Amino acid sequence: MRILYLDIDTLRPDHLSCYGYHRETSPNIDAVSREGIRFDRFYASDTPCMPSRSALFTGRFGIHNGIVNHGFTASDLKPFEPLRFFNNRQGPLVQLVTLLRRLGYYTVSVSPFGERHSAWWYYDGFREMYNPGKGGMERADEVVPLALKWLEENGKNDNWFLHINVWDPHTPYRTPIEYGNPFKDSPPPSWMTEEIIAKHREMYGPHSARTPHDLRDMSEEFFQRYPRLPRSIENLEDYKRWIDGYDTGIHYADYWAGKVFDLLKKLGIWEDTLVIISSDHGENQGELNVYGDHQLADEITHRIPLIIKGPGIKEGIVDNELHYNIDLSATLIDFLGGWELIPQMWDAKSFADTLKTGMPNGRQYLVLSHCVWSIQRSVRFGKWLLIETYDDGCKEILKPTMLFDIESDPHELVDLSETYPEVVKEGKALLEQWLSENMATSLSDEDPLISALHNSGPYHIPTYQLMDYADTVRKIWGEEKAEKLIERHKEQYYRYLLKGYRFLEAMGFSKKYRLR
């Protein structure tokens, strides 16, 4: 069997037409979906990019593999003594790609991911690695031709695993302007309104409606280079332009995916190829006042697509069970006949029977973790999503505890935590149960989320940058908002300074953030 894993970065499933989106963003992916199984409630256990892929490739939650952040604390795999062997491919540390090699697969990756995140563990197990060289700023026309060339030369060989990683839905939206706008005459999602935008513009936060870009990216050169991007979200016209950029990125990724599918058919190996289509995380597009980024342990950041077709796969099935992305690793190895190779310490659980027969085999609830733009854990159970926030990453909209009815409110507009205290209690009990069970099986004494919280905060808006961001808030939203932000975080800020002053000195921040 041949295996193609198409990994489309930043792809939220409800913007794919095969998942019911009102725009036809994904005709080629839709066709694959009709030949196999579509999973509707598939979630990344840890987000965003590096925590998600490390969980998938190691088959283990971030609380166990150690990666929950993008930098500073908790951003590398834990070196578990005495389980760190010569080549580190034994026991619980063995990774998905290494297991595929043990099953006789020739493993190939076309992706800049390892270099982008200094995630050198990612290369473990791959026989060939092609780095397009732009650190995640590539377009599909710069990635896919490398894969097409490899397939033309090797595709007819048996037993290969090819990972193709494209980035077009990720900001900044970089689809060539000559590609046009397939959605020029199509309205944006109807849930967004002028009233919501006006409310969001009054609230501070990174990548919020008034400041949807990194403030370092506000030059004329930036907007000339990325003409699909509005400067801010002032009204529905801006929002449509913004969403058109995202959806066009999906359409462009799908267009190039179609070239891969066409080549497999031309080579006569389409029917013998297991095709897996998924992503590392979703993308908030206004939900909880985050525009064009992935910053929360919420439904939008964590829910991702999963479509699988190929020999032995049940056709025409839509699975509605809860699954983690890590479960795909155990499922793939099990489906290929390697059940005995799966480490007992993996957190991943196989749903291979679902692939073969369509039989439901999901989880009762999921716990989702995010530590990169905020520090949160949430629990997804029934129709509910309970979000617990430990560091809000300077997002005014967030409260310590929030509850959403995802079935009736998929865009997280109404917090029901005060309306349904009994549901909050149930969700917190599930979260505590998960934490207790997973710390009991951890090879480390400290939860990496706590390490990140106490040592640095979320990487992209760490604790020591509080005063810098307060200055930004002061300039854009006014003095009162800035003072409220400082008051909200001052205890955490000064605790961090007292604990980490030596770190600040080493990083050259001691004069700017002198203790008073």
pLDDT at 501: 57
Report the distance separating Cα 248 and Cα 367, nearest Å. 32
Residue 313 tokens, joined: 């796969």
Residue 300 tokens, joined: 């939008």
Give the Å distances, CA to CA, from 268 to 5, 52, 157, 178.
Answer: 18, 34, 11, 33
Report the distance separating Cα 30 and Cα 510, nearest Å. 54
pLDDT digits (tens, 9 = 90+) for 342-356: 998 899 999 999 999
Query: Nearest to residue 44, comparing CAs of 439, 410, 329, 356?
Result: 329
- Of 178-192, 206-220, 351-365, 490-504, give the lowest mean pLDDT range: 490-504
pLDDT digits (tens, 9 = 90+) for 13-32: 999 999 999 999 999 999 99
pLDDT at 91: 62
The alpha carbons of the chain give a radius of gyration, in whole angstroms, of: 22
Q: Is the pLDDT of residue 87 over 90?
A: no
Residue 157 tokens, joined: 């060989």
Share of the chain above pLDDT 70, in %: 94
> Could you write out the DSSP letters of every residue in 90-123?
SGGG--HHHHHHHTT-EEEEE-SHHHHTT-GGGG
Report the distance separating Cα 106 and Cα 104, nearest Å. 7
Q: How confident is the model at residue 81 (pLDDT cuts 50, 70, 90)?
A: low
Report the distance separating Cα 457 and Cα 168, nearest Å. 29
pLDDT at 42: 98
Query: Nearest to residue 57, comparing CAs of 110, 109, 106, 94?
Result: 94
pLDDT at 502: 55
Instruction: Quote the distance between the C-alpha of residue 27 and its chain's center.
Output: 23
pLDDT digits (tens, 9 = 90+) for 199-214: 999 999 999 999 999 8
Cβ-contact 423, 384 below 8 angstroms: yes
Mean pLDDT of the chain: 93
pLDDT at 452: 92
Q: How confident is the model at residue 370 (pLDDT cuts 50, 70, 90)?
A: very high
pLDDT digits (tens, 9 = 90+) for 426-477: 999 999 999 999 999 887 788 999 999 988 889 999 888 888 899 999 999 9
pLDDT digits (tens, 9 = 90+) for 478-515: 999 999 999 998 887 777 766 655 555 655 655 544 44
pLDDT at 516: 38
Cβ-contact 10, 292 below 8 angstroms: no
Report the distance separating Cα 311 and Cα 318, nearest Å. 17
Q: What is the dihedral of CA 108, 110, 113, 118, to 10 degrees?
A: 60
The domains located in the chain, with CATH, are 2-182+251-361 (3.40.720.10), 462-516 (no CATH)
Question: What average pLDDT score do residues 100-126 get?
Answer: 95
Beta bridge partners of 353: none
Helices 49-58 and 326-335 pack at an angle, to 10 degrees, of 30
Query: Nearest to residue 352, comparing CAs of 380, 302, 314, 306?
Result: 314
CA 127, 131, 133: angle at the middle one, nearest 5? Answer: 165
Question: What average pLDDT score do residues 162-179 get?
Answer: 98
Beta bridge partners of 165: 7
pLDDT digits (tens, 9 = 90+) for 249-280: 999 999 999 999 999 999 999 999 999 999 99
What stretches of 167-298 show up as alpha helix (H) in DSSP?
Answer: 194-201, 220-225, 236-266
